[in-house]
Structure 1
């Protein structure tokens, strides 16, 4: 979905080219002949063109994912059930809200025209949305698991000064929330669900309990934003990115590289991912461009691949988080907004996992396992040697003595 800003930039480039051509026409006759001769000899410069777009967006408005124990609005209060879209419902995660958002976006992007119109009363045409079962989703649903090293990093994050201080700062508030909601264990990591439920209820004009004041909602939102930081940052962000958002970024890099490869047959012009707020945060953390605030419904991170006048490729990123405003530019640290593709690949390389399963292993665990195996083998060999030695000794003791001639008493001697 190229942004209008991108279209304007392309149009501006075309106008600039037009002004250059008009200036050639007004040049002196000898210069004009020289210009024409060069055009015959040299290849004609290509205008900058948009070659490929890949984007990731969060699903639209929905009902809460779940209710807290004392919530007056349990699942029966929502006609569509928990976690469903309430207004508008391409790879997508296997959730109704993301699948329906993908379908709704496609309906807006590709209204039927001409032969595509199968019913004049229905301005829609079917377009497939691909997904995989939730249990097999290893690209769009974060945090990815199982990953022992990531869990170890999270345990280390819980020991950081920032996490400990935040826990102390909000201890009384968390206890109050636990008491009001009936949730037994409310922590910095779990309190997001309370905010999410109350936000959905407020959005749908439901009356909130008296304890849910503006100040309470503000503090809950701050803690929800902190929970995203906890998941993908605070401590060893780059290594966390390799185990989380870097997995999706790796696939996006492959998509961009394939689109820039002229030998790639019939490559897609656009690739869309319909997913979640955690998906967006994981990706933006990997890119080191996360703003620190939860992406709102339908927010969208856009990658645009351009072929420049000289034939080289560049990548531009945009983020749209308000429906009434144009997407704003997102600049990769260390590169210009119009980032050469090779630079983009080099700068993002540190967060790309080379072997995710191997990197998810805990180094000490691997060494301990190897040591256990070696000790087990040595122990088995020693045990067999002991058994063999005992067997030899036992047989040696139980063997009858050799025969010898014994004269009978009373036998006459010659």
Structure 2
């Protein structure tokens, strides 16, 4: 009986694996694709802030296009992101159509310009779409909201409850700083010529990266703390926006709510869209990533993408996620935390119910 039992189990396992293999092959077939949503960071830019002793803070001399502006490299990065998306999805969506493509951007110059550059690489005009033989480009609408009203891509509107919650997290982290951490902030304060705290690190870390990538030699004192220590603290600081479930709801929930609302409508036949593009910031990606319970700390590089795909197999819809840390690298697939493999849309909706229930208009002022 023991041998017969084991044989039956083996046969059932083989049948299961065979069926699952066939299913996964069908699931991964591009013909199962129904809707794609791409959240991306803007491209390479000039610094947003300078420290008091920064040798490169002379904007007119070192950054003539202005602060926080998209560079030529940034334009090229996003153009290449568009070309990568075209290579992957050309058969799914071969040309731009107002009925199938929706583009939204944070209302920042660098994000709007990045979106335009990406679209140039993604949808070069062909055939009847060519309107100027001297310019192989076509204008595509990009939608945006003022920063003070945008609660999805740049949720910087005043939210007292979020502010108080995050301040308590920052205070708690400060109380538990090690002697090494205290020496780190003191070292920066002395060398930068101004008081430095955890909140200052992400922008200053970005400034170091930008200056170095533009061929500028960083001061000798930076070698003691950059890149390793600065990167570590910058990741910690960025994660404080989604430190607990409440903060994940406020800062990560809006993007997840927006994308899954579109996925749900698509599964119910309510919309014709095939591609949704969102041009935003590193924090937008970080907040969305961590609100989905991914545990890794990350600082997405310029042009990074977080992609959601909606697939249909039979009567069931599934969600796949992909991430690319750099502008010109092929995204790799993510295992969605707390979800089945593959992850059904219903399951995805279920595990994100809490963060999607965010309502800024009421919850921010409770």
Q: Tell me, yes or no, whether TM beats 0.5.
A: yes
C-alpha contact (below 8 Å) 1:57/1:301 kept by paired residues:
yes
**Secondary structure of 1:63's partner?**
coil
Taking the aligned partners of 2:206 and 2:326, their CA distance within structure 1 comes to: 19
Taking the aligned partners of 2:133 and 2:25, their CA distance within structure 1 comes to: 38
- Structure 2 residue 211 is the aligned partner of structure 1 residue 228: no
1:319 to 297, 309, 323: 323
- Written as runs of structure 1 = structure 2, the 5 A alignment for 1:137-216 is 137-142=150-155, 144-160=156-172, 162-166=173-177, 168-183=179-194, 185-213=195-223, 215-216=225-226
- Structure 2 residue 332 is the aligned partner of structure 1 residue 328: yes
Taking the aligned partners of 2:203 and 2:329, their CA distance within structure 1 comes to: 29
Distance 1:117 1:361, change over 3 A: same
**Structure 2 match to 1:79:** 64
Taking the aligned partners of 1:166 and 1:318, their CA distance within structure 2 comes to: 35
**Structure 2 match to 1:42:** none
1:273 CA displacement? 0.4
2:349 to 345, 356, 359: 345
1:163 CA displacement? 4.4
**Structure 2 match to 1:57:** 40
1:304 CA displacement? 0.3
Number of residue pairs aligned between Structure 1 and Structure 2: 315
**Structure 2 match to 1:304:** 309
**Structure 2 match to 1:100:** 113
1:124 CA displacement? 1.1
**Structure 2 match to 1:280:** 285
C-alpha contact (below 8 Å) 1:317/1:337 kept by paired residues:
no
Taking the aligned partners of 2:322 and 2:224, their CA distance within structure 1 comes to: 32
**Structure 2 match to 1:68:** 51
**Secondary structure of 2:37's partner?**
strand
1:291 CA displacement? 2.0
- Higher relative CO (CA 8 A, sep ≥ 6), structure 1 or 2? 2
Taking the aligned partners of 1:145 and 1:322, their CA distance within structure 2 comes to: 29
1:336 CA displacement? 2.6
Distance 1:111 1:178, change over 3 A: same
1:332 CA displacement? 2.1
CA-to-aligned-CA distance 1:284-340 (integer Å, 9 cap, x gap): 1111125202111111111100111x2211111111114564312222222134211
Structure 1-normalised TM-score?
0.71
Distance 1:337 1:96, change over 3 A: farther
Root-mean-square deviation (CA), in Å?
Answer: 2.4
**Structure 1 match to 2:262:** 255
Taking the aligned partners of 1:179 and 1:94, their CA distance within structure 2 comes to: 36
- Unpaired runs of 5+ residues, structure 1, are 1-8, 17-46, 363-414
1:345 CA displacement? 0.3
Taking the aligned partners of 2:274 and 2:181, their CA distance within structure 1 comes to: 48
**Secondary structure of 1:213's partner?**
helix
Taking the aligned partners of 1:200 and 1:168, their CA distance within structure 2 comes to: 29
Taking the aligned partners of 2:24 and 2:65, their CA distance within structure 1 comes to: 44
**Structure 1 match to 2:78:** none
Distance 1:361 1:135, change over 3 A: closer
C-alpha contact (below 8 Å) 2:340/2:347 kept by paired residues:
no
- Unpaired runs of 5+ residues, structure 2, are 1-21, 76-102
Taking the aligned partners of 1:207 and 1:96, their CA distance within structure 2 comes to: 27
Taking the aligned partners of 2:23 and 2:36, their CA distance within structure 1 comes to: 15
- Structure 2 residue 129 is the aligned partner of structure 1 residue 116: yes
1:125 CA displacement? 1.0
Distance 1:193 1:325, change over 3 A: closer
Taking the aligned partners of 2:31 and 2:265, their CA distance within structure 1 comes to: 19
1:283 CA displacement? 0.7
